[in-house]
Amino acid sequence: MAATDPKISDAHPVIRQLDDAAINRIAAGEVVERPASAVKELVENALDAKASRIEISIADGGKTLIRVTDNGVGMTADDLPLALSRHATSKIDGTDLLNIHSFGFRGEALPSLGAVGRLTIRSRTAQGDGAEVTVAGGAHEAVRPSALTAGTVVELRDLFYATPARLKFLRTDRAEMQAISDVIKRLAMAEPFVTFILTDVSGGNSRVTFRADAETGDMFDALHARLRCVLGRDFAENALAIDAEREGVHLTGYAALPTYSRGSAVQQFLYVNGRPVRDKVLIGALRGAYMDTLSRDRHPAACLFIDLDPTRVDVNVHPAKSEVRFRDPGTVRGLIVSGLRHALAEAGHRASTTVASATLGAMQPEPQGARIYQMDRPTPSSGPAYQAPSTGFAEMAPEYSGRVDTPVQTPEQADHQDRPLGAARAQVHENYIIAQTETGIVIVDGHAAHERLVYEKLKTQMAENGVAAQALLIPEIIEMSDGDAAQLLAVADDLSRFGLTIEPFGGGAIAVRETPAILGEVNAEAMLRDILDELSDQGASTLVQEKLEAILSRVACHGSIRTGRHMRGEEMNALLRDMEKTPRSGQCNHGRPTYVELKLSDIERLFGRT
């Protein structure tokens, strides 16, 4: 039984108007969850002010100091007190909350920060004089002059000193600093033409922990360079440029090859009109695009930007503005799936360069003793330790010859060396094909490669001929709520394309008329329940398609070249040529690489021939 609140009498409760300080502290709990939230709000304000250089200084994980300096348009002395008032903003006029073109628009961040910490703002416009104002725990001081160049400096000290209970929920300084760094990197990827500098000034020491200088060139070149800076060279080298448009929705960015997958979703960055978001529709679409190229325990890496008319998306659904609502989520999801699949298909047989790097890393030369120079070698005059060889070079030649007898090849096969996957030279362990290219060698997993080729052919046949449906002798009637039934019937046409036919049967009941023939005997109720769960979680369902493609994948596995079979030269070359013209042939059906390419220069480095 709950204890009686001593602050509220047992008499009829009285409705009270909270004072501004209490209102601001309550609002701060929604807007400012931790130091990283404060940094996000302040940096977004700087970006809205058209800053081209933003410097962030942090002490003790943001608990004692957060300072954001920008070279934006600045504010006048008259603007400063208003900026610290609740729901005061220069970004909207309040007439249209669906036409948002800026990061911020609520007018809550600065007053919320001033309510829970010691906040000082210094600002100056290009033509005006500098001014500053301080607010601590919601108490405002008078505006006074300040000397600084054009731009704004926001300094927040002793975060949550006015609400000490919140400090107990913060993590270690290192963890809070990592969260701040993640926020800065996420915003830096959205703004490649802006310089970001993050500095840790804890303990009186100044250490730059992240720096991304403004990039130049067109949008794709600038973004690629920024992703190389933030996510690393491996991502940049193995990412595919994405540029697709449908019904006024524009998708751009970079998505990594399937063989550059991750163990978690740590490298998935999604933006809507430049705003970083976490949206289940977008995450589900990204997963669906890689559905038949990755196993379920692997996650794609991507940085994608969706641009559309602001009136078609609502960003005013969460205090931190990290969630959005699309007016037409199906269009957005379909664009992501089709755009990414097209890019992966265009990549053809390409595989991640990290595969070759890992292979070379696993190849370690035998440890060698101290290097022996010519002058240290024994000579005939060195004493009895030297034994003259019993044979000369002429006798050794037949056994130690540098000549290799090349197998007889047709003129067509001899030209294969200039192909991307080269010309087959040998098969080892009855599975791995060794091919020679102009710049190195390629090692192909014959079974995995042929499995992908067969799988792609089966998918093409299914797309052309449709999915054969098995009519049930007695339709299966499944009872569910009216809402669940309506949700399933809304996607009935999509399900019918994969051989699953459902119809309304009165009330909340659904009749299952047909099921995909290739699946054999199906528990229709369990399948519909799973589809319903996926619809509720992601807004769309690919369950039936996944089951069909899983069957095709198993068929392809059993119908492909088995390990242990000896292949003739023409068969190996035919497999290589098919790989070059088949989409997604660089990885098997589970996301593993089908081949490894090693450059001759890397191989020679292993043997110390550089």
Q: Answer whether residue 408 shows pLDDT above 60.
A: no
- The DSSP-derived string for 489-539 is HTTHHHHHTTT-EEEE-STT-EEEEEEEGGG-S--HHHHHHHHHHHHHHHS
What is the tens place of the pLDDT at every residue in 173-188? 999 999 999 999 999 9
State the Cα torsion 333-337-343-347 to the nearest 10°.
Answer: 160
User: Is 77 in the same domain as 192?
Assistant: yes
For the chain, the farthest-separated pair of C-alpha atoms sits apart, in whole angstroms, at 117
Identity of the residue numbered 213: D
User: Is 461 in the same domain as 569?
Assistant: yes
Are the C-beta atoms of residues 553 and 455 closer than 8 Å to each other? yes
The model's pTM is 0.73
Residue 302 is predicted with a pLDDT of 95
Q: How far apart are CA 3 and CA 10, in angstroms?
A: 12
List Cβ neighbours of 226 (8 Å cut-off, separation of 6 or more).
188, 189, 192, 212, 215
State the Cα torsion 47-53-59-61 to the nearest 10°.
Answer: 50
Q: Answer whether residue 406 shows pLDDT above 60.
A: no
User: Is 196 in the same domain as 271?
Assistant: no
User: Is 71 in the same domain as 197?
Assistant: yes
List Cβ neighbours of 114 (8 Å cut-off, separation of 6 or more).
24, 84, 135, 136, 137, 138, 140
Last residue of a domain, one of 212, 231, 256: 212
The answer to whether residue 181 is domain-embedded is: yes
User: Is 264 in the same domain as 192?
Assistant: no
Helix (H, G, I), strand (E, B) or coil at 348: coil
Query: CATH number of the domain that 190 lies in?
Result: 3.30.565.10
Among candidate residues 568, 556, 559, 555, the one with its CA nearest the CA of residue 430: 568
The strand pairing partners of 120, in sequence order, are 134, 155
User: Is 121 in the same domain as 227?
Assistant: no
Identity of the residue numbered 558: H
Burial class (CB in 10 A: 0-12, 13-18, 19+), 454: buried
Residue 387 is predicted with a pLDDT of 45
Residue 242 is predicted with a pLDDT of 95
Structural domain range at position 242: 219-346
User: Is 267 in the same domain as 303?
Assistant: yes
Q: Answer whether residue 326 shows pLDDT above 70.
A: yes
State the Cα torsion 239-240-241-244 to the nearest 10°.
Answer: -130
* Band of pLDDT at residue 202, cut at 50, 70 and 90: very high
Helix (H, G, I), strand (E, B) or coil at 110: helix
User: Is 186 in the same domain as 320?
Assistant: no
**Torsion angles phi and psi, residue 21, rounded to 5:** -60, -45
Q: Answer whether residue 384 shows pLDDT above 50.
A: no
In this structure, of 35-39, 114-118, 139-143, 319-323, the range with the lowest mean pLDDT score is: 319-323
Residue 10 is predicted with a pLDDT of 59
Last residue of a domain, one of 313, 346, 379: 346
User: Is 275 in the same domain as 290?
Assistant: yes
The answer to whether residue 85 is domain-embedded is: yes
Above pLDDT 70, what percent of the chain? 79
The strand pairing partners of 181, in sequence order, are none
Burial class (CB in 10 A: 0-12, 13-18, 19+), 72: buried
The answer to whether residue 15 is domain-embedded is: no
Q: How far apart are CA 293 and CA 240, in angstroms?
A: 15
When pLDDT is averaged across residues 389-413 and rounded to a whole number, the result is: 45
When pLDDT is averaged across residues 510-514 and rounded to a whole number, the result is: 92
Are the C-beta atoms of residues 160 and 116 closer than 8 Å to each other? yes
Residue 402 is predicted with a pLDDT of 38
* Band of pLDDT at residue 292, cut at 50, 70 and 90: confident
Number of domains observed in the structure of the chain: 3
In which residue are the tokens 């890019």 written? 343
Residue 84 is predicted with a pLDDT of 83
What is the tens place of the pLDDT at every residue in 59-106? 999 999 999 999 999 999 988 888 887 766 655 545 555 656 566 555
Question: CB-hemisphere CA count at 13 Å for 103?
Answer: 21
In which residue are the tokens 């006048």 written? 76
User: Is 418 in the same domain as 323?
Assistant: no
Above pLDDT 90, what percent of the chain? 32
How confident is the prediction for the chain on average, in pLDDT?
A: 81
Top-confidence residue, 419 or 186: 186
Identity of the residue numbered 81: P
Are the C-beta atoms of residues 337 and 288 closer than 8 Å to each other? yes
Residue 305 is predicted with a pLDDT of 96
The answer to whether residue 2 is domain-embedded is: no
Distance of CA 488 to the CA centre of its chain: 30
Give the β-pairing of 268-272 and 302-307.
parallel
Q: How far apart are CA 111 and CA 489, in angstroms?
A: 48
Are the C-beta atoms of residues 264 and 219 closer than 8 Å to each other? no
Query: CATH number of the domain that 432 lies in?
Result: 3.30.1540.20
Query: CATH number of the domain that 334 lies in?
Result: 3.30.230.10
The answer to whether residue 270 is domain-embedded is: yes
User: Is 36 in the same domain as 136?
Assistant: yes
What is the tens place of the pLDDT at every residue in 528-585? 888 888 777 766 677 777 777 777 777 677 667 766 778 888 889 999 999 998 888 8
Residue 9 is predicted with a pLDDT of 56
Residue 318 is predicted with a pLDDT of 64
Q: How far apart are CA 575 and CA 349, in angstroms?
A: 12
Top-confidence residue, 250 or 527: 250
C-alpha distance from residue 477 to each of 265, 461, 492, 525, 529 (Å): 39, 32, 15, 9, 13
When pLDDT is averaged across residues 470-491 and rounded to a whole number, the result is: 89
User: Is 448 in the same domain as 310?
Assistant: no
The answer to whether residue 498 is domain-embedded is: yes
Q: Answer whether residue 301 shows pLDDT above 80.
A: yes
Top-confidence residue, 367 or 189: 189
Residue 410 is predicted with a pLDDT of 55
The answer to whether residue 177 is domain-embedded is: yes
Q: How far apart are CA 263 and CA 300, in angstroms?
A: 9
Residue 196 is predicted with a pLDDT of 97
Q: Answer whether residue 27 shows pLDDT above 70.
A: no
Last residue of a domain, one of 162, 189, 212: 212
The answer to whether residue 373 is domain-embedded is: no
Q: Answer whether residue 400 shows pLDDT above 50.
A: no
A 10 A CB-CB count for 604 gives: 12
